[in-house]
Structure 1
């Protein structure tokens, strides 16, 4: 994707809609507390009807969750869509979905984890979103991370993120952040974006090292990593091996499966399932400095 549209900056008073496109809502206290953060910043936040619906592990049947997205996306007064939580389910509602029906009126989509599928699908349609805290996790973020989210959405500059550089110089490319597991399950589907010139930014949670190894091996065998300019690695939270089972560490797996790609890589960046989860803009130009360990968004 050569050009990605940034939705207009948000401003206090704007209407934002909360949807649950993935897993069933469980963290009710955190949900309400995070909602108050948005309201304290002056936004008119409306929660979708029947957001507490359940269909097994899903936040309601596919049609119900798809309708939440459609109502928010096609509402001319709505300027942003906040996802309630991740889990699983967003790919199911993308089986019968087309962003192109309303790309003339882009609005911000905010979320991470399972929301990766929605963000990458929206990127395919040429529109940027924000890989950042969902409504059940925002309350756990440090003040600087909350400020960073609102700075992105309201059009202000943000600071670079600092991690651990693996060496290999500096590259610029299109930033494509997401959850490794969700992204892996987009391989071989129409939802996988064109990765030419992309800087992938991956994070994950509760995946033991052998499963991270399996996913990265699938990426290697698919051949698509040959198109990627760099990789930024965030948190891999609770990805330790079970006790008393022989295993490589998650750090060893990442080094073995990515370290020979001859592209700049930075790890230990502060984004992912464990706080802090620094917001990242999808589909914008970024600079990855693998000598200094810096990821910088260039907007």
Structure 2
């Protein structure tokens, strides 16, 4: 599978638009602090007035959230889209959604940056041939360590990314196309029109607030679906707040991951620094990487 089109590098002065395609905004201090981080780098940041809309647990109704995305994507002056937060809701706006025709995905690509629930949009964009960024949203960027913030800017501004170090489970080295995302959101894209072609892919998964038995259930679905037979490797980030319930017999989440993924005969690297806790190292969606299951490294090859 070929690597995806990488949008042109961002530069100070570029216009970036904020959208809230998922959950209702709640973390206002960190949200505005993160906007200031982008502005301090010289970027123009446009925040829509409806950013504080609420419709139940969503940041506005589906049509309004879909319109936010469409307006940002079709704006010829906009070079990147910053997602406010995750939560839930981006899969809902994929109904009746098309990245084309008004903004050609091959002629006018732009950066889309987010993680967690934004996985649905990242993978949808991947399916039409555009690379994006699995990285901090605007409610989390201000809490990232300096090196993680700098990594995000290095990625979108076209500079080299340092390899990430985790714990290798063996099975050698694989090179493939990186497809990072939240395990829960990605699992719910299986058997939908937004399921990617997994041939030649290196999956990168993280998750939050999922009990070990639910992680087990999702990974078992991946096994039974046959999709894991197509991939070349698996990179695992943080599985935050995924401890078993108190006083209930259970495996740990690490034991579940080992049980469900350790026998696939492909390189697996765990404990990489991306996800919901401590640090969320930016990862390119749809670019070539090398995963070393012996040394425990993830290297972005074309950065």
How does the TM-score come out when normalised to structure 2?
Answer: 0.98
Aligned to 1:50: 50
Q: Distance in 2 between matches of 1:228 and 1:120?
A: 16
Select which of 262, 266, 284 maps to 2:265: 262
Residues in 2 aligned to 1:220 and 1:203: alpha-carbon distance in whole angstroms: 17
Are the equivalent residues in 1 in contact too, given 2:3–2:177 (CA < 8 A)? no
Alignment equivalent of 1:118, drawn from 121, 124, 127: 121
Query: Where does residue 180 of structure 2 map in the other structure?
Result: 177
Matched, 1:92 2:92: yes
Q: Deviations over 1:247-268 (max 9, x none)?
A: 0000100000000111100000
Query: What does residue 18 of structure 2 align with?
Result: 18
Are the equivalent residues in 1 in contact too, given 2:155–2:161 (CA < 8 A)? yes
Q: How do 1:1-299 and structure 2 match up within 5 A?
A: 1-101=1-101, 102=103, 103=105, 104-299=107-302
1:195 CA displacement = 0.2
Q: Does the 8 Å CA contact 1:80/1:109 hold for their aligned counterparts? A: yes
| Aligned 8 A contact 1:15 1:77 in 2 | yes
Q: Any runs of at least 4 consecutive aligned residues in structure 1 with deviations exceeding 2 A, and if so which? A: none
Q: How many Å apart are 1:3 and its aligned residue?
A: 3.7
- Cα shift at 1:48: 1.8
The CA deviation string for residues 198-230 of structure 1, in whole angstroms up to 9 with x for no partner, is 000000000010000000000000001100000
- Name the SS for the 2:52 alignment partner: coil
Contact 2:173 2:290 in 1 (8 A): yes
Q: How many residues align?
A: 299
Shift of 1:26: 0.2
Q: Distance in 1 between matches of 2:215 and 2:297?
A: 24
In 1, Cα distance between equivalents of 2:155 and 2:112: 12
Instruction: Quote the Cα distance in structure 1 between the aligned partners of 2:70 and 2:252.
Output: 42
CA distance in structure 1 between the partners assigned to 2:249 and 2:36 by the alignment: 45
Distance 2:236 2:134 in 1: 14
Q: Secondary structure at the match of 1:50?
A: helix
CA contact (8 A) 1:131 1:177 kept: yes
Tell me how far 1:242 sits from its aligned partner: 1.1
Shift of 1:100: 2.8
What is the CA RMSD across the aligned residues, in angstroms? 0.6
Q: 1:30-72 CA deviation, whole Å, 9 max, x = no partner?
A: 1011111000000000012311001100000000000000000
Spell out, residue by residue over 1:97-127, the C-alpha distance to the aligned partner (whole angstroms, 9 max, x if none): 1113221210000000000000000000000
* Distance in structure 2 (CA, Å) of the matches to 1:217 and 1:68: 36
Unpaired runs of at least 5, structure 2: none
What TM-score do you get using the length of structure 1 for normalisation? Answer: 0.99
Contact 1:130 1:282 (8 Å CA) reproduced: yes
Q: Which runs of 5 or more residues in structure 1 are unaligned?
A: none
Deviation of 1:17 after TM superposition, in Å, equals 0.2
Secondary structure (helix, strand or coil) at the match of 2:100 reads helix
